[in-house]
Amino acid sequence: MTPLSAAAVYIGINILLLFFLSFRVVGRRRSAKVSLGTGGDADLEIRTRAHANAAEYIPVTMIGLFVMTQFAAPLWVIHAVGGMFTTGRSLHAFGLSTTFLPARALGMVLTWLGMLAAGIGVIWLAVA
């Protein structure tokens, strides 16, 4: 496996996570008959925030992961950053969707660590 193919796996998983979260929002919108906003529906609010939170964090970090591959980051670095971030995003989505706060908190920490590692990695590889 090359660093690029490893990054592609993490990018693909995160795209599927966004799709799944989006699908949950649309399903709840249809059943609650809410076209715009959340209409005061607590479950729709939770689903919307879970999706929006993922949409806020995933794109920029996946771009960072891809850029790292273009600067020849080692495979283990791509797996460390991609794995940490993707695990974090999955845990956060699960925790926020089910109100299981330990998963949400750990997911956010792993998300931030993965994001931080991608940001530092891109800069490090660019100037090294």
Contact (CB, 8 A) for 62 and 11 = yes
CATH value at residue 20: 1.20.120.550
25-65 residue pLDDT tens: 999 999 988 888 888 888 899 999 999 999 999 999 999 99
Please work out, in degrees rounded to the nearest 5, the angle formed at the alpha carbon of residue 83 by the alpha carbons of 77 and 95: 150
**Count of domains forming the chain:** 1
Domain span at residue 73 reads 3-127
Local structure of residue 128 (DSSP, 8 states): -
59-109 residue pLDDT tens: 999 999 999 999 999 999 999 999 999 999 999 999 988 878 899 999 999
How far CA 2 is from CA of 6, 34, 61, 99, 117, in Å, comes to: 6, 45, 19, 37, 19
Q: Is the pTM of this model over 0.95?
A: no
